[in-house]
Amino acid sequence: MDKIIISVDRMRKSDAYTIENFVPSKELMYRAANGVFESFMSWNNKKIAIVVGGGNNGGDGYALAGILKKNNIDSTIIKVSEKMSEDGKYYSDIAEELGVKAEMFTESTDLSSYEVIVDCILGTGFTGEVRGLAKDAIEAINKSGAYVISVDINSGMNGDTGEATLAVRSDLTVSIGYYKQGLFTEAAKEYIKEMTNVDIGIVLV
């Protein structure tokens, strides 16, 4: 099957259309997280951190933590924001009930002890310059030496242009729904080693 590559705006509209007519948003988030889980074969016996932001990209991370726990794989959720989307809160509560450890990212947080880091900080809607804790977390991920998986897009990257003043450098980027056009630009190449896409049933409009 040929790659389908779309703009961030078309993805947003398609996502909204699918949620309104076909698939509840919580189910799409679960499918996204499960797709990330199935895209990487080496979760076992690794020290794993899932670094989450306050939007739906962070929600994917909370859902992934729950899926890992149900497969007897421990991870630590590291939050760069106390905010959560509605669906993110739903999956955060599940992860908490399952006993997943969660902590806030601070200036003293050391990510170098983790072998796998999942980047769920900023999604495809992000534009501009990364600031605050998100900036500090991205810098810490890039210095960590861990195997890095970015969910949907590398945090800090513009989904349409691939440009970034600062972005996560990933070993694997797992695009959700359809590939975003920014992932294939010259600007994006320095940030992404390998890329795959997970079909979660988004209807294109």
User: Beta strands of the chain (E only): which ranges?
Assistant: 5-6, 48-52, 76-79, 101-104, 116-120, 147-151, 172-176, 179-180, 195-198
pLDDT digits (tens, 9 = 90+) for 53-78: 999 999 999 999 999 999 999 999 99
Cα 197 to Cα 171: distance, rounded to the nearest angstrom? 14
Q: Domains in the chain and their CATH numbers?
A: 5-198 (3.40.50.10260)
* pLDDT at position 2: 74
**What residues of the chain score a pLDDT lower than 50?**
none
Overall size of the chain counted in residues = 205
